[in-house]
Structure 1
Amino acid sequence: MKKGSFQWMKSLNRTIILNKIRTDGPISRAQIAKETKLTPPTVSSLVSELIEKELVIESEQGESIGGRKPTLLVINSDRFYIIGLDVGAKKIRAILIDLSGKTIDKTQTLIPKPISNEDLLTLIKRTINHLTSNHDTIEVIGIGVGMHGAVDVETGSSLFAPGLNLRDIPIKKELEAEYDVPVKVDNDVRAMAFGEYWFMEEKKDESIVTVNIGIGVGAGIVLNGKIFHGKYDLAGEIGHMTVDLKGNLCSCGNIGCWQTLISGPAIGEAARNQLERYPESLLLNMVEGDVQKIEGKTVYEAAVAGDALSKEILEGTGVYIGIGLTNLIHMLNPSKIIIGGGVANASPFILPIIKETISERGLTRQAKATPIYCSNQGAYGTAIGACALILGEIFEGDVPVVG
């Protein structure tokens, strides 16, 4: 991996042109000027800069409308690359992509426990180096990090990583010093949400919510193309919305949080508690009689195999998810909701029930019909979203360019 040197492009016009080429290319200089309301000399000058920096190339000639055929412009997608990291409670997933989002390589590293801040940072760097070890000629222009837990987005620090019991990890500072490229750090679910938004094929002016349902429950909110963080980066902690005043104790210390009803551990606990009603359940054989080994994944696998208890639990989970999402729809009125995380793998069992519940409880016809999808990004969804954090900076924010 080459370590580029960078400067920050502050020109709004340059950013507008670059993003126009990304979204509408191949496109001519004249068409850019017409659609952006910028003057032709301004467009010509800034395009020349972008070509010089190798972010844009001339691809082909368009149709003539009288006179010479115009030269069309496209993003030079395979010239620069981005690294995305998903730092979870158990492992680090890393992915290398080009500017079009094409995956070049990926890897993962298990996180030993206990681990210190310094050792985690060393492990992150080792993962990056392993990812790029076979790509010496590739020039990386940014690193995005989706970090589980609470994150200070401005400083790029992990304030608290509950799965690792670590606090105040200076991720951005360490990685920028090591690799001399811009680094953006955000909460893992917000990164996942921005990835879902960035790579969707529809127009980009929509607002979406991604709800990650796994060991815990969190949401990433994208409003009009921007991640919504809230005043102190707390926006999206929807798993701790109280839905049952007489419910179970949550890891946060409160009673009856949504997370206690729909997370992977909650699904496993529900199965363990109801086994007496289904003594013939496949679950017992799958864990060789050790009830404590029943997890959410076990319930899903048993449901696939036709287990009645497991199907019942997943369908009940779908109802609770639908109730929570209905509340979310009434609060934010998103154009769509995407469900990610391990529980999303059970979509054949839960998704129809979720939609049915929202249809029953939605306040208006439009609310009832809010599109609900399960993510298809897979295990590397957060890492892909972390790459999107950098892509958003390049094409829609302050633009890092090789100097």
Structure 2
Amino acid sequence: MQRGSFQWMKSLNKAIILNKIRTSEPISRAQIAKDTQLTPPTVGSIVKELLEQELILESKLGESQGGRKPTMLVLNTSGFHIIGIDVGLSNIQFIVSDLSGKVVEESEEHLAENVTKEQFLSLLIKGVKQLIDQHSQLKFIGIGVAMHGIVDTDMGVSIFAPNLQLRDIPIKSHLEEFFEMDVKVENDAKAFALGEAWFQDRINHKSMVAVNIGRGIGAGIVIGGKLYNGEHGIAGEIGHMMIDIYGKKCSCGNHGCLQTLASGPAIVERTKELLDKGEASILTKWMDKVELTAELVHKAALHEDSLAVKILHETGVYIGIALTNLVHIYNPSKIILGGGVSKAGDFILTSMRETLRERAISERAQQTSITISELGQYGSSLGSVALILTDLFEPNLE
């Protein structure tokens, strides 16, 4: 097992070459020199170092361009591993991932309702230590943490975690002191966005937005292959984008935020209101046995229940309005949806896309791609892994 940081990797040319291999493998030394405009001796010297450090491997022979067949280079994705952490509502998910995003192990720790700051940090230590002990043969290079709420990414501190009602949690310093390796901490929605850019698109899309819709709603904005945090770190808080100035009061104190209209709890509340008014639905019978949830509304929609279908359609319209606003401000090439509500699929996607087509100001903007995440249950966990990878590779997209 290897602990510590990759500070010895922090030369620009190394990062450029390593990232070139990652995005274009298999690739020859000559092609790297041509594409990066670095001299062949420089490429040869750095490639030699990367081979010695086992970050890359020599692969098959390439096609001859008139001389000997060149030896191709690939990233040694299974040579090093990262621990990713996603702090959820009631559980903390821990994963061990290789450099390609392949999850080789996972575990969970339960979060008590009234967990203290000290207990929370102890759970993080326990979960990470358990995975490291189970895989002592692996070389770990860092720990990423996806944390809900407001995060100071530079200091690695959770400023406020509303679901836990905890403030000023020194996650980075606490884990780095215990494990002696690099730790990165980021808001979960932003980490999710970075994971999508890194593992799904290999950062082919220089500008994209990933929206996480569950109990709350947050987004991560990727510009030029890197997360955009804004001046005070709140960029992407679209859950608090005001859609209806006369709407319901949000947890943030404002009225009519997107979160009051399209989050999981909002779907439940709107459904209850319509049921109380006497609208017919299969949900009335189901609620005798189980609690009403957004997931249950989706299940009813699958049974062609008209009330459930209408609720999810309206939810898609509200989200579509918010996405149209994002398109007008950031003009991303792609929008990816994740979180529990996104599992409703076409029940919300169709009205979302229709709303964007009706409201976006240009024809090309109207065609902005909106898709569901393929990272599944590991969305934010793999995003936290990507936090370490971006620090290692320092993508150069110019």
Compute the RMSD of aligned alpha carbons. Answer: 1.7
Within 5 Å, give how 1:187-266 maps onto structure 2. 187-201=187-201, 204-266=204-266
Aligned length: 395
Answer with 266-275 or 172-181: which moved more: 172-181
Distance 1:380 1:249 in 2: 32
TM-superposed deviation, 1:237: 0.9
State the secondary structure of the residue aligned to 2:134. coil
Matches within 5 A, 1:358-377: 358-377=356-375
Unpaired segments of 5 or more residues in structure 1? 399-403
Q: Determine helix, strand or coil for the equivalent of 1:86.
A: strand
Report deviation, 1:113: 2.1
Residue equivalent to 2:5: 6
1:396 aligns with 2:368: no
Sort the Cα spacing of 1:53 and 1:113 in 2 relative to 1 into closer, same or farther, 3 A: same
After superposing the two structures, state which structure 1 stretch, 24-33 or 253-262, moved more: 24-33
Relative distance call for 1:380 and 1:202 in structure 2 (3 A) is: closer
Q: Give 1:375 deviation, angstroms.
A: 1.3
Share of identical aligned residues, percent? Answer: 50
1:302 corresponding residue in structure 2:
300
1:89 partner letter: L
Alignment of structure 1 residues 2-401 onto 2, 5 Å: 2-8=1-7, 9-201=9-201, 204-278=204-278, 280-288=280-288, 293-396=291-394
Alignment partners' CA distance in 2, 1:7 and 1:199: 21
Once the two structures are TM-superposed, the CA of residue 324 in structure 1 deviates from its matched residue by: 1.2
Distance 1:232 1:246 in 2: 27
Q: Residue 83 of structure 2 contacts residue 94 of structure 2 at CA under 8 Å; is this kept in 1?
A: yes
- 1:19 maps to amino acid: N
CA distance in 2, matches of 1:90, 1:6: 31
- SS of 2:285's equivalent? helix
The runs of 5 or more residues in structure 2 that have no matched partner are none
Residue by residue over 1:223-265, the C-alpha shift from the partner in whole angstroms, topping out at 9 and shown as x without a partner, is: 1101000111111111111111111011111111111110110
Partner of 1:219: helix, strand, or coil?
Answer: strand
| Aligned partners of 1:25 and 1:74 also within 8 Å | yes
SS in 1 for 2:345: helix
**Is residue 143–residue 390 contact of structure 1 (8 Å, CA) maintained in 2?**
yes
Shift of 1:137: 0.5
Structure 1 residue 279, shift from structure 2 partner: 5.2
Q: 1:226 to 1:86 in 2, by over 3 A?
A: same
- Provide the rounded CA distance (Å) in 1 between the counterparts of 2:110 and 2:201: 33
What SS does structure 2 have at the residue aligned with 1:195?
A: helix
SS across alignment from 2:200:
coil
C-alpha separation between the residues in 1 aligned to 2:368 and 2:246?
A: 30
Residue by residue over 1:154-213, the C-alpha shift from the partner in whole angstroms, topping out at 9 and shown as x without a partner, is 011101111001111111111111111111110000000000111124662520001111
SS of the residue corresponding to residue 127 of structure 1 reads: helix
Taking structure 2 as the reference length, the TM-score comes to 0.95
1:90-136, Cα deviation, whole Å (9 max, x unpaired): 21111111112111111222101211111101101111233344322
Query: Is this contact kept in 1: 2:27–2:73, CA < 8 A?
Result: yes
Q: Secondary structure, in 3 states, of the residue corresponding to 1:199? A: helix
Paired residues of 1:3 and 1:180 also in contact (CA < 8 A): no
2:207 maps to amino acid: S
Q: CA deviation at 1:357?
A: 1.0
SS in structure 2 at match of 1:6:
coil
Bigger Cα displacement from structure 2, 72-81 vs 61-70: 61-70
